[in-house]
Structure 1
Amino acid sequence: MKNDVFRYAECPMHRTMAIMGSRWKPVIIYALRSRKARFGQLHASIGTISKKVLTSSLKELEADGILTREEFKELPPRVEYNLTDKGRSLVPIIVDLAKWDNKHYEQKIAEKEEIESVG
């Protein structure tokens, strides 16, 4: 065992975090969970993401096979983003993370309110 070398490329968590490890990628997947969206719609629904970061995150997610980018030859040009099957398989995981956050966020608020009412 002491001669074994930990190989990041063989570690499933490392590979997963290489794809999902930014602040915005899970949020983008969550925003696309139930429908296609255009760039402006995504930007508006996420709100606080810069256009530059959204653009680079979408390109990375497309390169990783999480979403597709469909260009329409229209004037003005139109582009839609949609989750692939691989991307849709992440939705239940991301929804569970959101549920986990809601549970613990509500507990934190309740604890804060309790402390404030005693003080």
Structure 2
Amino acid sequence: MAAAESGLQRRVGVRRASYGESWEQVLRLCSLLAGWLDTTTRLRRRDTETRSLAAVVDAWGKAVTVLGVPERATWGRLPGVTDTDVQRWAKMLVTPDGHGLLADVLTRATDPTV
């Protein structure tokens, strides 16, 4: 399947780079006309290659463990994950769960050095 798609993906990649830069310039021009200059606008493109979820997770898992990429930076790279999902997951990390709170309380109660 990947061999059959390689030509298509190559053509898509060329057009994606060309059109992406063009649209970034259009967005910057619109922001300038609106009265504010935004030089940080970037387009985020969806990955259209056919890959299994297991292959993607394995690749990003290796990037985290071997290259030291932060775990949270990989969340948005998973297929089907939206920005809303990433924001919700980030809130879940900040919100303590009941088991964690109980473990902290018990640790402090039993270990006077903590």
TM-score, structure 1 as length reference:
0.28
Higher relative contact order, chain-length normalized (CA < 8 Å, sep 6+): 1
Highest Rg: 1 or 2? 2
More helix by share: 2
